[in-house]
């Protein structure tokens, strides 16, 4: 194989996918499909836009390189095994990156509503991204570091996002808006708000038997 070097941009891959999903949402909303109309449609579009944004920042552009232009460093050198010992400017950005995921999961899924499950899923998503970055280096020599620091702070971001969601839901006005955005059957729609207290009935006066 001769020298190969070209770049695949996010717009080329993710643009058509986002457009197709937007069309799907529009069609189902027009047909009145439950969970796809009104604010539920907004939630789905926001989630799709967020996913595209994350993939754009973490995986794109994909630089395909073979031949003399390829990076000949071993793939093991692309793994940063030891978390950053000192504060790094990118840490805050990586925390913020996954906070929306911690908010969206309870609003959109039935089983991922607790802080523990949201944290676990966020960790799995972050790990998948890091492993994909490493795989792209092995296959097409796309040079991106696989960083344990990113994995840790991304996981923290998902947890914090979930905490913010439920703290915000304590405010009745905010809770109403979030409930409207939550998909039917989602964890938040089922358990996001504290159950209403039963009405207290006035004590009945004792009746005396007539003689």
The pLDDT of residue 197 is 41
Instruction: Give dist(CA 75, CA 79) in Å, integer.
Output: 8
Residue 35's region, left for phi above 0, alpha for psi from -120 to 50, else beta, is left
Largest distance between two CA atoms of the chain: 111
Question: Tens digit of pLDDT for each residue in 31-65?
Answer: 999 999 999 999 999 999 999 999 999 999 999 88
**Length of the chain in terms of residues written:** 211
pLDDT tens digits for range 98-108: 999 999 999 99
Two tokens, residue 173: 């006005």
pLDDT digits (tens, 9 = 90+) for 105-151: 999 999 999 999 999 999 999 999 999 999 998 888 887 888 999 99
């Amino acid at each position: 194989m001769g020298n190969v070097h070209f770049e695949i941009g996010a717009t080329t891959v993710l643009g058509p996918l986002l457009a197709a999903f937007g069309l799907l949402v529009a069609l189902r909303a027009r047909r009145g499909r439950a969970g796809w109309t009104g604010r539920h449609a907004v939630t789905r579009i926001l989630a799709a836009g967020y996913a595209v944004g994350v993939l754009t920042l973490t995986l794109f552009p994909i630089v395909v390189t073979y031949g003399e232009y390829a990076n000949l460093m071993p793939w093991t050198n692309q793994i940063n095994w030891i978390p950053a010992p000192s504060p790094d400017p990118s840490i805050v950005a990586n925390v913020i990156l996954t906070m929306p995921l911690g908010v969206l999961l309870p609003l959109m899924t039935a089983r991922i509503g607790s802080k523990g499950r949201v944290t676990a899923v966020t960790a799995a998503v972050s790990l998948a991204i890091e492993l994909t970055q490493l795989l792209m280096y092995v296959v097409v020599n796309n040079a991106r570091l696989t960083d344990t620091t990113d994995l840790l702070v991304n996981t923290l971001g998902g947890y914090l996002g979930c905490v913010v969601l439920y703290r915000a839901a304590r405010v009745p006005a905010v809770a109403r808006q979030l409930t409207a955005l939550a998909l039917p059957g989602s964890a938040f729609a089922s358990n996001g708000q504290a159950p209403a207290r039963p009405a207290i009935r006035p004590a009945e006066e004792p009746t005396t038997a007539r003689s």
